Amino acid sequence: MQKYINLSYLASLSALGVATCCVLPMTMMVFGLGGSWLAIFGKVASASLYVLAISTVLVMASWLVSYRRRSLLKLKWWLCGTTAITGFAWIVFFNEARINDYLIMQM
């Protein structure tokens, strides 16, 4: 597997982690875990849009590099996976308020 594919997966997973930084603590509180550590996520939430944008650019660059090296057919499932993870991170980011409202109703 190429290094740029590893980089795109790292970027996608970090984008997913940043996108869920406000939803994940609420989910853990629903399951009964304490919430005193929630203050840590304020700093992460301020950079979430930048991390998501950089991740999207890296995923697009991976597609482009793979196309130029003519290895698109061999790596298409890896690239589809990283694209799906990044897309899911964007969906969570844009629906964060709805998800949090739903989790608050479950408490």
Question: pLDDT tens across 73-98, in order?
Answer: 888 898 899 899 899 989 988 888 78
CB 104 within 8 A of CB 35: no
The answer on pLDDT for 43 being more than 70 is no
Q: Which residue has the higher pLDDT, 63 or 24?
A: 63
Please report the pLDDT score of residue 76 as a whole number: 86
| 89-97 contacts, C-beta under 8 A, 24 or more apart | 89/12, 89/15, 89/16, 89/18, 89/19, 89/20, 89/52, 89/55, 90/15, 90/19, 90/52, 90/56, 92/16, 92/19, 92/20, 92/23, 93/19, 93/48, 93/49, 93/52, 96/19, 96/22, 96/23
pLDDT above 80 (res 45): no
Q: Which residue has the higher pLDDT, 34 or 9?
A: 9
Is the pLDDT score of 55 beyond 80?
A: yes
* pLDDT value, residue 84: 92
pLDDT class of 47 with cuts at 50, 70, 90: confident
pTM for the predicted model, two decimal places: 0.76
Calculate what percentage of the chain has a pLDDT beyond 90: 7
